[in-house]
A and B are shown apart, each in its own frame.
Chain A
Amino acid sequence: MHANAIQHANEDEVLINLNDLPSAKAEGWQYTPLKQRIKNLSLASVSGNTDIERLDSQSIQRVESGSKDAKNLLSNYIKSYKNTLNNNILFNFSNILNEELIHLNCKENGSIELINEVASDSAYAPVIIMNVQANCQIELYETLISGENAWLNACLLVNLGKNASFKHYRASPRSSSVVTALTHLNASEGANYGHYSLSGRGEKSLYRQELVANVHGAHVNIDINALNLLKDNEISDLTVTINHENGESVSQQTVKTIVTDKAKGVFQGKVYVAKDAQKTNANQMSRAILLSRLAEMDTKPELEIYADDVECAHGATTGQLDKHQLFYLRSRGIPEKDAKSLLLEAFAKELLEKFESDNFREQAQKWLDERLQGMDS
Chain B
Amino acid sequence: MIKIENLHAEINGKEILKGFSLEIADGEVHAIMGPNGAGKSTLSYVLSGREGYKVTSGSVTMNGKDILDMNPEERAAEGVFLAFQYPVEIPGVQMTNFLKTAVNSVRKSRGEEELDSLGFLKKMKSTQKELGIADDMIKRAVNVGFSGGEKKRNEVLQMAMLEPEFIVMDETDSGLDIDALKTVSKGVNALRKKDRSFLVITHYQRLLDYIKPDHVHIMAKGRIVKSGDAELAKELEAKGYEDLLGEAA
Contact = CB atoms under 8 A, between A and B. Distances in A.
Interface stretch (B2-10, B87-95, B113-121, B228-236): B87-95
B101 A338 contact: yes
Nearest to A344: B92
Given A323-B51, A328-B90, A347-B92, A342 B101 contact: yes
A331 interface: yes
B92 A330 contact: no
B56 interface: no
Interface residues of A, number: 23
Contacts of B162: 332-333
A350 B92 contact: yes
A327 B53 CA distance: 13
Contacts of A329: 90, 98, 102
A343 B91 CA distance: 9
Given A335-B105, A342-B101, A330 B71 contact: yes
Contacts of A335: 73, 105
Given A332-B158, A334-B101, A336-B73, A350 B91 contact: yes
A334 B75 CA distance: 11
Given A327-B51, A328-B90, A334 B105 contact: yes
A342 B98 contact: yes
Given A333-B162, A334-B102, A342 B73 contact: no
B77 A333 contact: yes
A333 B106 contact: yes
B82 A331 contact: yes
B222 interface: no
Contact of B48 (A331, A342, A345): A331
Nearest to B86: A324
A363 interface: no
B146 interface: no
Contacts of A346: 90-93, 141
A339 B141 CA distance: 15
B127 to A, nearest CB: 15
A332 B87 contact: no
A349 interface: yes
A331 B88 CA distance: 12
B84 A332 contact: no
B125 interface: no
B169 interface: no
B87 to A, nearest CB: 7
Contacts of A357: none
A49 interface: no
Contacts of B102: 329, 332-334
Contacts of A342: 93, 97-98, 101
Given A335-B105, A342-B93, A346-B93, A328 B73 contact: no
A328 B90 CA distance: 9
B72 interface: yes
A325 interface: yes
B51 A325 contact: no
A279 B112 CA distance: 61
B76 interface: yes
B122 interface: no
B16 to A, nearest CB: 18
A345 B90 CA distance: 12
B109 interface: yes
Interface string B127-168: 000000000000001100000000000000010001000000
A200 to B, nearest CB: 19
A343 B90 contact: yes
Contacts of B142: 328
A343 B93 contact: yes
B206 interface: no
A333 B76 contact: yes
Contact of A338 (B49, B76, B90, B105): B105
B95 to A, nearest CB: 12
B154 to A, nearest CB: 11
Given A327-B51, A328-B87, A342-B98, A333 B105 contact: yes
B216 to A, nearest CB: 26
Contacts of B88: 322, 324-325, 327-328
A323 B72 CA distance: 13
B65 interface: no
Nearest to A346: B92
24 contacts: A322-B88, A323-B51, A327-B51, A327-B72, A327-B88, A328-B84, A328-B87, A328-B90, A328-B142, A329-B90, A329-B98, A331-B50, A331-B81, A332-B76, A332-B102, A332-B106, A332-B162, A333-B73, A333-B109, A334-B102, A334-B105, A342-B101, A343-B90, A349-B92
Given A338-B105, A346-B141, 18 more contacts: A328-B87, A330-B72, A331-B48, A331-B72, A331-B73, A331-B75, A332-B76, A333-B73, A333-B102, A334-B101, A334-B102, A334-B105, A338-B101, A342-B97, A342-B98, A343-B90, A343-B93, A346-B90
Q: Which 3 A-B pairs have the closest CB atoms?
A: A346-B92, A333-B76, A333-B106
Interface of A: 322-325, 327-336, 338-339, 342-343, 345-347, 349-350
